[in-house]
Every structure is written in structure tokens, then in C-alpha cells.
Amino acid sequence: MNVLEDFGNTIIGGADGPTAVFLAYKPSAGMLIAATVLGLLFCFFGLKLAKVLIVINGALIGLSAGIGIAGAFHAERTVFLIIMLACALVVALLSFILYKFGVFCMVFVGTLGTALSLLAGAGGIASGNISFALNGGTKELIMGAAAIVAALVLAALSVKFAEPLLIIVTALSGGMAAGPQLLALAGLGDKVLIGYGAGALLAALGMAVQFMMHSRKIGKKEKKYAAVVKKKDSVESEVEKARTILEDDDDED
């Protein structure tokens, strides 16, 4: 067994491993509460937490890339872990230093993840098979491709309109994640359509709240800028008055 298979069976689990045990039971109330809280934080404070989320997202992307690279070269266990951690660190640092790059990655991942989860639920295969676009037929492949294209388009637009798209994506992904969890806590986890409705409502509220907070922030910046400009104009006005007085004195002489 190579390192990649060993890693997968140890962390993720095979057919008889940890994953099978996990899927055999419903998530505990604690797990549902934690997922709900994280979803609500994304939904209502996504923009405020953007820098932290961007770094975490970059680390996860790097980790995934590291697993792929190390697996392709059949690296030994120690080298495998080093490659994983190195890739995670590099992409996380790039996401922190290059803000636009980090925003692009976060919008892409957030949009794609939300789209695929909605398509999986709509297709009636949300029972744990997250690779439906690969295992399904032509319709699933087309929907998966459309989700990727939509994610790329929004990610490209986020380079120009970073804040608005971060608000939209975090509110949508957080709301659609928290809505079904809230229903599951209420014992209505089997009501898929109601869960989507609750998620959409939370997403709309999250967008409204985040845009309001963002507009207030912009308003404060504009007030500060206006105060600086007013002070500058006042100083220039005083200087002009002083110069006029001096010129009048010269004329009298």
C-alpha cells in the first residue's frame, strides 16, 4: 500500500474504516451547533473575517495540492507530509500577501462548493457522494461544468469588485450551510426544500447586514476624507486672506 492510500485510509477511512462508521450515525447535536455557528459567522460577518478566511482557504487549497503532488510522485510518508505542509504554507502566504489572489481563490472555492452542494441536493444524491459530477451521467457532468464556469466568472469579477462579491459569496455559502443545520437541530433534517428556503432567507439577511456594515464603513471613511479636505481648504483660505492683506499693505506703501 502506498503512502497516499495509507493516508486516505487512516484519515478518511475506507469502506469499513472511520468514514463508514461516521456515515452510519447522524451528526451529534454538538457538531450541528458548531456547523451552524460557523455558517452564521460566514453569513453575517464574512467580510469582516475575510482576511482570516482567505488565509485558511489558501492553506486548504495548498494542502489539497500538496496531497496531489506527493501522491503523483509516490512520496514516502515523511516527504509526503513535508510536501503537504509546504504547499499549504506557500499558498496561505500568497493569499495573505497578494490580497486579490486570495479573494479570487476564496470566491472560486465558495461559489463552487455552494453550487455543487445545491446541485447534489437537487439531484437527490446528497447522501455523502460529493463526486456526483464525475460518477453521474451527462446531465450531472453538464451541471458540474456549469458550476465550475460560474465559479470562475465570479472569481474573475472579484478581482475588480472584491468587497461586494466577498459579501455575496460568504453570505450565500454561510446561509445555505446554516439553514439546513438549524432545521436538523429542530428535528426537521429530512425537509430538504424547507432547509434550502431557510438557507436562502439567512443568505438574504446576511447580505443585507454585511452591505449595511460595509456602507457604514465607507461612510466613516468619506466623513474623515471630507474633514481633511475641509481643513485643507480652511488653511488655504486663511493663507489666501493673509496674502491679500499683505498685498493691500504693499499697495498703501
Distance, CA of 201 to CA of 136 (rounded, Å): 30
- Among 7-11, 103-107, 136-140, 221-225, whose mean pLDDT is lowest? 7-11
Query: Taking 90 as the threshold, does the pLDDT of residue 33 lie above it?
Result: no
Percent over 90 (pLDDT), the chain: 47
Query: Taking 90 as the threshold, does the pLDDT of residue 191 lie above it?
Result: no
pTM exceeds 0.75, yes or no: no
Percent over 70 (pLDDT), the chain: 70
Q: What is the pLDDT of residue 142?
A: 86
What confidence category does residue 116 fall into, taking pLDDT thresholds of 50, 70 and 90? confident
Report the mean per-residue pLDDT for the chain. 79
Specify the higher pLDDT residue, 195 or 47. Answer: 47
Distance, CA of 82 to CA of 216 (rounded, Å): 45
Q: What is the pLDDT of residue 131?
A: 47
- Residue entry with cell 436562502: 200
What confidence category does residue 61 fall into, taking pLDDT thresholds of 50, 70 and 90? very high
Beta-carbon contacts of 198 under 8 Å, excluding residues fewer than 6 positions away, are: 179, 180, 182, 183
Buried b (16+ CB within 10 A) or exposed e, 37-55: eebbbbbbbbbeebeebbb
For residue 110, which of 62, 139, 63, 150 has the smallest C-alpha distance?
150
Distance, CA of 82 to CA of 12 (rounded, Å): 19
| pLDDT (tens digit per residue) in 139-181 | 778 888 899 999 999 999 999 999 999 999 999 999 998 988 8
Distance, CA of 120 to CA of 125 (rounded, Å): 5
What confidence category does residue 81 fall into, taking pLDDT thresholds of 50, 70 and 90? very high
* Amino acid identity, position 111: T
